[in-house]
Chain A
Amino acid sequence: MLETLWNNRIEVIAVVLFAVGLTTLFLHKNLLKKIIGLNIMDTSGYLFLTSLGYIEGRLSPIVSDGNTDPSRYVNPLPAGLVLTGIVVSVSVTAVMLALTLRLYRRYHTLNLDEIYRIVHREQEEEP
């Protein structure tokens, strides 16, 4: 078992990072750290995906010499998926940062629990 884990070490690192990111995103109270957690989580997914297509000694999938032997190149599909995924995670990060900035301007804190408490009081007092 340990040997398999060592052979799949990149994937092991990826899932450990995924768990760290997930935990931070889920449980940390500081909004900025949540966003960092989100990025760690997404990036670990891409690391996992990239490691799936990697084969040592093969070339990147650019057939400049016209040789289209599939055993010469690494798998191009994970690279394409990662490219798509990166753009998605950039977008959600931007949205989260904008939301955080607005909350900070309004409540002067990044601690989600404190914001929640203030908002809860606001809610009690509305009609």
Chain B
Amino acid sequence: MAKKSFRETLREWDEGNFDFTMKTAGIPLPENEDGKEKEGSEWSRTPHLRTAGSEIKAFSKLYPVFAGLLLFAVITFLLLVIVEMPPFNSPDTPANRSEVTWRYIRSGLSETGAVNIVAGVILDYRAFDTLGESHVLFAATVAVMILMLAKREEEEPEEELSILRNDLILQNTAKVLVPFLLMFGAYIILNGHLGPGGGFSGGAVLGGALILYSSAFHPGKLQKILNMKSYRIIVLLALSFYSGMKCYSFFSGANGLETIFGTGTPGAILSAGLILPLNIAVGLVVACTMYGFYAIFTRGRI
């Protein structure tokens, strides 16, 4: 390349033609121009040839070196930290002897009414975290919908799991398992304040049951009950109920008002104030979201 005068270079830069980066100089074109296919034809499956640029090849060779170095550095640093950490399995660590833990266990039962202290912590003491957490799930559903929701005018995409349809073993297993799974999920949700469980774990079980049912039988069967419309209604109602209740509870707490929700008799199913209804709301949201992820990923619709 002939050397250009400064003036020429400046003019070229000003006109936006100067390629400082030189990035594209050595890289061959992709041999198949399908790389620039139109937006609409994204679903097409023509594989195309690819050639690797030289710089990328160089990186591939160096990759283990980089990875090893980074790994080594991070591990060394963190191990040095671990050496100074409080000992494992000791009641005397700052986390275990802190006043926070002490009060949660000592007065959790009387203050929240929940026999399961963890449920009391996440739905009463630290309820704001959990409110955020259910909205993380909601945000993820919306993000997945933006990406994967099939366009309305498109035909129903080819059933990709058609091999699994009409599978006798799967269908009979589902017939036996699904009722029990639903029952078990409901039990976990309703007992969240009394024993191990709660909205998130119970909702995941319910979602699993729905996924099993939907993959064993024709998806249309489940869509009669759980389609886009009912999905939206359930999520909308559950999350608004959750936000509304928590807003009331935060408001009353901050302004020193008594809540109208008492703690009830610890151990009874109808106790622990808001924890049971909130667990139900969370359970519904989680179940719908899990099934929703499955349905959107496989079919592009719920």
Query: Hey, which bits of chain A sit against chain B, CB under 8 A?
Result: 1, 4-5, 7-12, 15-16, 18-20, 22-24, 26-29, 51-56, 60-64, 66, 68-71, 73, 75-80, 83-84, 86-88, 90-92, 94-95, 97-99, 101-102, 105-109, 113-114, 117-118, 120-122, 124-125
Cβ of A101 to closest chain B Cβ, rounded Å: 7
Subset of 19 A-B contacts with CB under 8 Å:
A11-B88, A12-B79, A12-B82, A18-B74, A27-B66, A27-B67, A53-B95, A62-B196, A64-B115, A68-B106, A76-B101, A77-B100, A80-B122, A84-B122, A87-B136, A87-B200, A99-B147, A113-B52, A121-B29
Which residues of A have CB within 8 Å of B108? Answer: 61, 63, 68, 76
The 0/1 profile, CB within 8 Å of A marked 1, for residues 123-165 of chain B is 0001001100110110111011001100000000000000000
- Using C-beta atoms within 8 Å of the partner chain, give the interface range for chain B: 35 or more
Asked whether, in the complex, the Cβ of B78 is within 8 Å of the Cβ of A18, the reply is yes
Asked if A114 meets B200 with Cβ closer than 8 Å, knowing A12-B79, A15-B78, A53-B95, the reply is no
Q: How far apart are the CA atoms of A78 and B70 in the complex, in Å? A: 29
Which residues of B have CB within 8 Å of A26? Answer: 70
Q: How far apart are the CA atoms of A27 and B65 in the complex, in Å? A: 11
Asked whether, in the complex, the Cβ of A66 is within 8 Å of the Cβ of B67, the reply is no
Asked if A19 meets B200 with Cβ closer than 8 Å, knowing A61-B105, A61-B118, A66-B109, the reply is no
Which among B88, B109, B140 is the interface contact of A94 at CB below 8 angstroms? B140
